């Protein structure tokens, strides 16, 4: 994201660069500027209206690059958007994604009747997660695979690059939970 530059160089030389991990669409819809009330959708992964916010000199680490974070700004008045509201919206999106993944339907990989979607009738003793017709083990409709890990990793990297610690921790926790 940030070019590795020594601390003694001009901070205006730091440029925002897109990377390979920033390829999924993550939008924040209808974000309003607190100063001029201009409303727009922010494409989190590709928006060019960002500014580097340098951390205070007291909190700087002895590294080859300065500590700080990228922040989105209003294209009209150049005011920085409130970080807590943006992080909260991203956390809500991540929670919605994980909830959709957890509550998805089960399907039988062999049966094609009704698309293979099965109901799990726990009240009637059908909690064994097997197909009622052929007794095959049911699978997830959308399997936990590379696409799910990739989306979670994108949210984690958004948290890292934009300084959203809570978002980063939640995404990391979800990734660790899926790996177990």
pTM for this entry: 0.68
Q: Which pLDDT does position 180 carry in this prediction?
A: 66
Q: Which pLDDT does position 85 carry in this prediction?
A: 93
Low-confidence ranges of the chain (pLDDT < 70): 1-23, 56-66, 112-129, 132, 180
Q: Which pLDDT does position 91 carry in this prediction?
A: 95
Give the CA-trace dihedral at 34, 19, 93, 116, to 10 degrees: 160
Specify whether 128 is located in the same domain as 174: no
With beta carbons less than 8 A apart as the criterion, state whether 167 and 155 touch: yes
Specify whether 149 is located in the same domain as 131: no
Q: Which pLDDT does position 128 carry in this prediction?
A: 59
Specify whether 94 is located in the same domain as 127: no
Q: Which pLDDT does position 123 carry in this prediction?
A: 43
Specify whether 92 is located in the same domain as 133: no
Rounded to the nearest 10 degrees, what angle do helices 83-102 and 146-162 cross at? 170
Specify whether 48 is located in the same domain as 125: no
Q: Which pLDDT does position 113 carry in this prediction?
A: 58
Q: Which pLDDT does position 88 carry in this prediction?
A: 95
Q: Which pLDDT does position 168 carry in this prediction?
A: 93
Specify whether 22 is located in the same domain as 44: yes
Q: Is residue 166 part of a domain?
A: yes
């Amino acid at each position: 994201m940030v070019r590795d530059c020594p601390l003694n160089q001009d901070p205006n030389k730091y440029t925002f660069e897109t990377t390979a991990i920033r390829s999924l669409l993550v939008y924040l819809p209808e974000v309003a500027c607190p100063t001029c009330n201009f409303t727009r959708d922010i494409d989190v992964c590709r928006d060019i209206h960002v500014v580097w916010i340098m951390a205070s000199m007291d909190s700087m680490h002895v590294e080859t690059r300065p500590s700080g974070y990228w922040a989105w700004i209003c294209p009209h008045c150049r005011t920085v958007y409130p970080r807590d509201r943006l992080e909260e919206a991203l956390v809500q999106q991540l929670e919605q994604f994980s909830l959709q993944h957890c509550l998805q339907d089960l399907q039988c990989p062999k049966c094609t009747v009704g698309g293979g979607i099965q109901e799990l009738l726990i009240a009637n003793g059908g909690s064994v997660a097997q197909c009622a017709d052929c007794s095959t083990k049911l699978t997830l409709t959308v399997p936990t695979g590379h696409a799910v890990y990739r989306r979670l990793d994108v949210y984690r990297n958004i948290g890292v690059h934009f300084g959203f610690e809570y978002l980063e921790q939640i995404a990391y926790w979800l990734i660790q939970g899926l790996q177990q």
